[in-house]
Each structure stands twice: as C-alpha cells, then as structure tokens.
A = this chain, B = another copy of it.
Amino acid sequence: MMTIRVTVWNEYRHEKQNELVASIYPEGIHNAIGNYLKTNEPVEVRTATLDEPDHGLTDEVLASTDVLIWWGHIAHDEVRDDIVEKVRDRVVSDGMGLIVLHSGHASKLFERLLGTKTGTLKWRDDGERERVWVIEHGHPIAEGLGDYFEIPKEEMYGERFEIPAPDELVFISWFEGGEVFRSGCCYRRGKGKLFYFRPGHETFPIYHQPEVLKVIGNAVRWAAPIAGAATRSGRMEPIEPIGKN
C-alpha cells in the first residue's frame, strides 16, 4: 500500500484557552490524532491549525494532501470562505478524502459540501455513556470492531440531524440519556469520499480511546483517493453523426 499523506486540521483554540482541555490534549487534538496515525497506519502526517497563515492550508499543502481530517467547534465563522472553496474543490474535483469529526458538523466546509443545515441537531454535554453500534459489518471503516464499542463519558448528539441521507450508514449511537444518532456517515462527492464521525468532545479524552482512533485510521484508508477515470467536460463534438436519420 502506498503512503497516504494525511493533514490533520484543528481549530486549536480550546486547548489554548481551557485548562481542562489542555490537560487532556497537551499537544492539541490534531497531534493526538496525528501521533496515533503515524504509529499505526501507512501514512505521512502533517497538521494545520486555524491561526496559521491560510489556516495552514496553502495551495501547496492541499495539493500534497490525500486525506484531510477536520476538527472545529467555537470558531467556524473565522474559517475563510476562499479556503473552504479550495478544500471543496480538492475533494470534488481531485478526490481528496475528507474526515469530519464531531463538532465539525457545524463547520462551513461540511455544510458547503452537503448543502443542508448540518449544524442542526440535539445536544447535551453532561458527560454520558455512548454506545456506538456497527450497522454495516462488511464496511472497511468498521474493520476490527465487534458489535459495538462504548465511550464512558461523551457529549450527546441526537436526531434529527439535518444531513442528506448518507450513502452508507456505518454506525448508530445509543445514548444513556435516551437519544440515538447516525454517528458514522459516508458520502461520495465528486471524485472524493467524505466520512463524518461523531465522537469527540474536547472535554473528554475521546481521541485517546483505542476504538475511536482505530475507526479514524480505517477511515483514512477508506477515504484515500484513487486514480479513477479521466473524464472531461465542456463543449463536445458529436461522436455519432447528427441529423442523418
């Protein structure tokens, strides 16, 4: 398998502003995820964050990224529209994979790619038990799991989640407080693949949990671009003669 070039993007504000979050993720959420991937998957990892120039997503970085992982929460509005468009173009036209995590559901990027009001859902950050059930046991993103895995303390997200019906629904979550959620959603958008994965509130050590990291690693391999077919667009001459019959 070829090396997959992963860029982990993190808003990286909570970690600098909130001691609890800093204590859980001393190097930031991006490095928690990136360090796991480096050790466990056939990848090269870079990170990028909101407050870097161009949010760390220069043309050069994007052009050499196979799979982009996205975590944001309190500063979605500060992400520049032109960069959202560039990322979207890389996914749709070039087939870059995209993995959107947790509160990234309300990001400009996710909403831009899906078209619905993806910020709309139920939530509660009381720290309750989540049980993530496997729905598609033959899916590569579920590889290595059993029936389900549990997260001891999590933020709840509940339906109705305002997304287009996923092309493949890999996980559904059960919450202690009584809700359910479509927690693992696959989409094809143009040449690219998009995976939304729900777990991940910043005040809990979600991205240190082995099952969560395993799923992200599986998703990186699933989302990696393939060569595909070389299709063209624009005005075309007829292939067959017109107007003869």
Contact = CB atoms under 8 A, between A and B. Distances in A.
A42 to B, nearest CB: 13
A202 B129 CA distance: 32
A201 to B, nearest CB: 14
A125 to B, nearest CB: 8
B228 A188 contact: no
Contacts of A165: 136, 167-169, 188
B138 A178 contact: no
A176 interface: yes
Q: How large is the interface on A (under 10, 10 to 19, 20 to 34, 35 or more residues)?
A: 35 or more
A135 interface: yes
Interface stretch (A24-32, A33-41, A62-70, A110-118): A110-118
A160 B180 contact: no
27 contacts: A112-B115, A113-B115, A121-B233, A122-B233, A123-B235, A123-B236, A124-B236, A133-B179, A133-B180, A134-B160, A137-B230, A138-B192, A140-B228, A143-B227, A145-B229, A146-B231, A147-B160, A158-B236, A159-B231, A160-B231, A164-B187, A165-B168, A172-B172, A172-B182, A174-B175, A174-B178, A177-B239
Interface of A: 1, 88-89, 92-93, 95, 112-117, 120-124, 126-129, 131, 133-140, 142-147, 156, 158-160, 162, 164-165, 167-169, 172-180, 182, 187-193, 225-245
